[in-house]
Amino acid sequence: MKNLLILFMLSLGFLTARSQEFNVTVSVTSPMVEGTEKKIFETLQQDLFDFVNNRQWTNYAYKPEERIESRENESCSAPAGVQSLIQHPLV
């Protein structure tokens, strides 16, 4: 999950060179992850939303209607080994 967050932040980093402010709708889903509290993914979704939309990416002042609108959908899944342990515990 940490790699997913780093990849997301790096992908936005490349856009900052010639961009303005963002108005991004962020969606994080985790249909393949079992045995994990869903609150973790809700927190990740809110943190990504806050990071992208509340950060000032440029030195210019943009009006809300001038922001670039976008949707970002992230889907989290457990690595194969972890998913196998969840389905077939060693106990």
9 pLDDT above the threshold of 80: no
- Convert the pLDDT of each residue in 10-53 to its tens digit: 666 655 455 578 888 888 888 777 777 788 888 888 998 999 88
2 pLDDT above the threshold of 70: no
Give me the pLDDT at residue 91, please: 45
Q: Which three-class secondary structure string do you get for the chain? A: CHHHHHHHHHHHHHHHHHCCCEEEEEEEECCCCCCCCCHHHHHHHHHHHHHHHHCCCCCCCCCHHHCEEEEEEEECCCCHHHHHHHHCCCC
82 pLDDT above the threshold of 50: no
What's the rounded mean pLDDT across residues 59-72?
Answer: 85
